[in-house]
């Protein structure tokens, strides 16, 4: 499946993209158009963020610009430059679904989108805007406006339970997180024999998609076949993830279409919505409720911190009082920490940027990696720096944007009344009414999966 492509008519061969590709999947001569080696590409979209070769209305004229825009399926309300490296857009499918009265549209948006989306409307880097985003979704015409932060909390319930099972019952350790599809694909491509170390949990996007077409359909009294599930992500690899053959455990495709944060901005403009005039609105309940733990999924170390906040309770039966887990925060390479949980010392690690994974995998193969649980994020600072986020045209803005988005995320977590996933009242209700228990029979069927090399199919 093609998700990322480089337009040969536009590429100038500056090779900036080859420098940022964490999978070394871009090849070509200097000053000649570059090309992507699809077998190696993890679809993270860092090349899309970095690319500086473009065509514009001003420099290249309306005809060439319109032709390229139409070929990419981008609405004609878009007038910004079109870059050589780009992700394949599915915005047309969403517009068609919104106009189809037989479809019941449900939308979810990842934690990292709400700290970046406003940048595409001229606001300062890292502006937090969950309320305006929810309002925009309603104005666009989605039937239900839900939230990936809810299923980030759900992922923690499943992942923490899975980790405790592996640690106490002699399962495969270390367990790696599985919510970053670029990382999952990299491991499948390079070392399929190690995929047994991946958590069997689907990502929050896919979990919520499966819940949309089961519990969500029942809540809204509609046939699951009518549900059209849209997710808005900071990530281009999520487009690949939603199309994986494993991702249909409800009997339907979990997520029908993924849009990037950039494409959501296009969609808002397409429907003529004035961002500055939007008032804050809430997400729909119950699948729009979230805690601080769900929010911090968007930053590197955040999944680990959220997992520790709940895992501690699962292991000890007590509540963790000091919940800011500072040792796992940061933005560099491979960080390690030890967390005391009752009689157990939980040894954890965080890999930031896929370029830093090889040393960790080599230690694992050599038998010298003493760790229970490792979070891996492909992008430079996790999802806030994803390939689908608003494009940063000046390199000087990049570090500031990442920092501001990270700080916005942490600030939002700090201000929320509930900051642990197991405290989310609507997560409790979901288990009581539908799933029964974490890692139970129902949740295994809907919320877990398998990967190439781990006894499953691709």
Q: How many residues does the chain have?
A: 458
Q: Which residues pair with 74 in a beta bridge?
A: none
Burial of 363 (0-12, 13-18, 19+ CB in 10 A): middle
* Contact in structure between 150 and 289 (CB atoms under 8 Å): yes
At 104-155, the pLDDT tens digits run 999 999 999 999 999 999 999 999 999 999 999 999 999 999 999 999 999 9
Q: For residues 270 and 229, what is the distance between their CA atoms, to the nearest angstrom?
A: 20
pLDDT score recorded for residue 454: 54
Average pLDDT over residues 252-263: 97
**Is residue 455 pLDDT above 50, yes or no?**
no
| Residue 2 parent element (H or E) | none
| Residue 317 parent element (H or E) | none
Q: What percent of the chain has pLDDT over 90?
A: 91
Which of 329, 411, 331, 308 is CA-nearest to residue 379?
Answer: 331
* Contact in structure between 421 and 156 (CB atoms under 8 Å): yes
At 10-46, the pLDDT tens digits run 999 999 999 999 999 999 999 999 999 999 999 999 9
Q: What's the pLDDT band for 358 if we cut at 50, 70, 90?
A: very high
pLDDT score recorded for residue 453: 67
Q: What's the pLDDT band for 457 if we cut at 50, 70, 90?
A: very low
Q: How much is the pTM? A: 0.95
Three-state DSSP class for 258? Answer: strand
Mean pLDDT of the chain: 95
**Is residue 295 pLDDT above 50, yes or no?**
yes
At 414-431, the pLDDT tens digits run 999 999 999 999 999 999
pLDDT score recorded for residue 57: 83
Active site residues: 159, 162, 179, 199, 238, 241, 246, 383
Domains of the chain, start order: 1-88 (3.30.70.20), 148-447 (3.40.950.10)
Q: For residues 100 and 351, what is the distance between their CA atoms, to the nearest angstrom?
A: 43
Helices 181-190, 357-366: axis angle to 10 degrees equals 50
């Amino acid at each position: 499946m093609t998700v990322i492509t480089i337009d040969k008519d536009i590429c100038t061969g500056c090779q900036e993209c080859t420098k940022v590709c964490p999978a070394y999947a871009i090849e070509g001569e200097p000053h000649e158009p570059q090309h992507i080696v699809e077998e190696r590409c993890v679809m993270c979209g860092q090349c899309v963020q970095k690319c500086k070769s473009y065509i514009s209305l001003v420099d290249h004229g309306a005809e060439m610009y319109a032709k390229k825009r139409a070929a990419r399926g981008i609405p004609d309300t878009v007038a910004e430059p079109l870059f050589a490296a780009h992700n394949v857009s599915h915005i047309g499918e969403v517009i068609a679904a919104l106009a189809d009265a037989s479809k019941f549209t449900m939308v979810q948006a990842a934690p990292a989108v709400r700290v970046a989306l406003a940048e595409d409307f001229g606001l300062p880097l890292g502006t937090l805007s969950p309320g305006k985003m929810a309002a925009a979704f309603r104005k666009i015409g989605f039937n239900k406006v839900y939230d990936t932060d809810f299923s980030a909390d759900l992922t923690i319930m499943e992942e923490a339970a899975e980790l405790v099972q592996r640690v106490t019952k002699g399962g495969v350790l270390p367990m790696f997180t599985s919510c970053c599809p670029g990382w999952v694909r990299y491991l499948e491509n390079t070392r399929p024999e190690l995929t047994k170390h991946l958590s069997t949990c689907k990502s929050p996007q896919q979990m919520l998609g499966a819940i949309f077409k089961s519990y969500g359909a029942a809540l809204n009294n509609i046939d699951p076949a009518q549900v059209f599930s849209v997710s808005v992500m900071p990530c281009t690899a999520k487009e690949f993830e939603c199309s994986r053959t494993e991702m249909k455990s409800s009997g339907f495709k979990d997520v029908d279409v993924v849009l990037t944060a950039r494409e959501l901005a296009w969609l808002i403009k397409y429907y003529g919505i004035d961002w500055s005039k939007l008032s804050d609105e809430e997400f729909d309940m119950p699948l729009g409720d979230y805690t601080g733990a769900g929010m911090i999924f968007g930053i590197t170390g955040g999944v680990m911190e959220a997992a520790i906040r709940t895992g501690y309770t699962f292991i000890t039966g007590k509540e963790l009082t000091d919940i800011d887990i500072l040792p796992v925060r940061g933005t560099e390479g491979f960080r390690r920490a030890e967390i005391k949980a009752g009689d157990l010392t939980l040894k954890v690690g965080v890999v930031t940027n896929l370029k830093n994974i090889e040393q960790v995998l080599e230690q694992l193969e050599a038998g010298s990696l003493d760790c229970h649980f490792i979070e891996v994020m492909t992008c430079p600072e996790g999802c806030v720096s994803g390939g689908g986020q608003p494009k940063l045209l000046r390199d000087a803005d990049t570090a500031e944007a990442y920092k501001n988005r990270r700080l916005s995320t942490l600030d939002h977590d700090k201000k929320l009344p509930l900051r642990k996933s197991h405290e989310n009242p609507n997560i409790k209700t979901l288990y009581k009414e539908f799933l029964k228990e974490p890692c139970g029979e129902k949740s295994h069927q809907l919320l877990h999966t398998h990967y190439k090399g781990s006894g499953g199919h691709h």
